Amino acid sequence: MDVIQAIQSRHSVSKVKPDALPREMIEGLLRAAVQAPNHHKVRPWRFVVLTGAGRERLGEAMAVSQRDRQPDLPPEAFDKTRALPLRAPVVIAVGADKPAESRIIEIENVSAASAACQNILLAAHAQGLGAIWRTGEWARDPKVKEFLGFEADQHIVGFLYVGWPEFTAEFAERPGFEDRTVWMD
């Protein structure tokens, strides 16, 4: 599949099989990630790869944080939260570094880390894997950040859920670029 075909045919896949992925395959996704452009060569992306029990520990951190914030929720709510990272065999948390010098700009670091996320989605798709980019409240949760080794003021740009697709789905065509584009000749 060439890059244009990959871009045109990529769709998010939220239902994947529980089968583990070989480590080389995950490393291949990360190699694709770090091909993303970044300003000042700061390589602002940080990856935390959660597999196996690592996903359970993430789920626990999410549930504990939710219980601290919303203690009156029923126990089922915490169980549901705890199970969220188990939706795929591989969850890659992608963070962006805070700028360390004045010439480094936060949005540029976030942009570069986001480009790394898209590279992962495309590389996964090109190999027949299914993936989806998720954030939710967990990406902004200080306790989740702490669990992942991120600073409280560092951005998590996404949790990428990756695995073999559960089934081949039909996807609707996306709206085009025309109503989002102005030409200045």
Ligand X SMILES: Cc1cc2nc3c(=O)[nH]c(=O)nc-3n(C[C@H](O)[C@H](O)[C@H](O)COP(=O)(O)O)c2cc1C
C-beta closer to ligand X: residue 40 or 134:
134
**Which residues pair with residue 94 across a beta bridge?**
47, 158
Q: Quick one: which segment of 18-26, 52-60, 97-105, 133-141 binds ligand X (CB under 6 A)? A: 133-141
- Cα distances from 43 to residues 55, 82, 97, 145, in angstroms, run 25, 32, 8, 19
Determine the Cα–Cα distance for residues 110 and 98; give it in Å rounded to an integer.
Answer: 9
Q: Could you give the CA distance from residue 14 to residue 9 in angstroms, rounded to a whole number?
A: 16
Concatenating the DSSP letter of every residue in 37-95 gives --GGG---EEEEEEEHHHHHHHHHHHHHHHHHH-TTS-HHHHHHHHHGGGGSSEEEEEE
Among 40, 80, 98, 134, binds ligand X (CB under 6 A): 134
Taking the least distance from each CB to ligand X, the nearer of 14 and 40 is 14
In the complex, minimum distance from the CB of residue 114 to ligand X, in angstroms, rounded to a whole number: 7
Q: Does 11 bind ligand X (CB under 6 A)?
A: yes
Residues in region 141-180 near ligand X by CB under 6 A: 158
The site for ligand X, by CB under 6 A, has a size of 8
Structure tokens at 41: 């060569």
What residues does 45 pair with on adjacent strands? 96
Decide whether 133 or 164 has the Cβ nearer to ligand X.
133
Among 1, 6, 7, 12, binds ligand X (CB under 6 A): 12
Cα-to-chain-centroid distance, residue 172: 23
Any contact of residue 136 with ligand X (CB under 6 A)?
yes
- Tokens coding 107: 């949005």
By CB under 6 A, tell whether 51 contacts ligand X. Answer: no
The minimum distance between CB 134 and ligand X, in angstroms, equals 4
Stretch that binds ligand X, among 38-46, 70-78, 101-109, 126-134 (CB under 6 A): 126-134
Among 61, 132, 148, 162, binds ligand X (CB under 6 A): 132
Residues that bind ligand X (CB under 6 A): 11-12, 132-136, 158
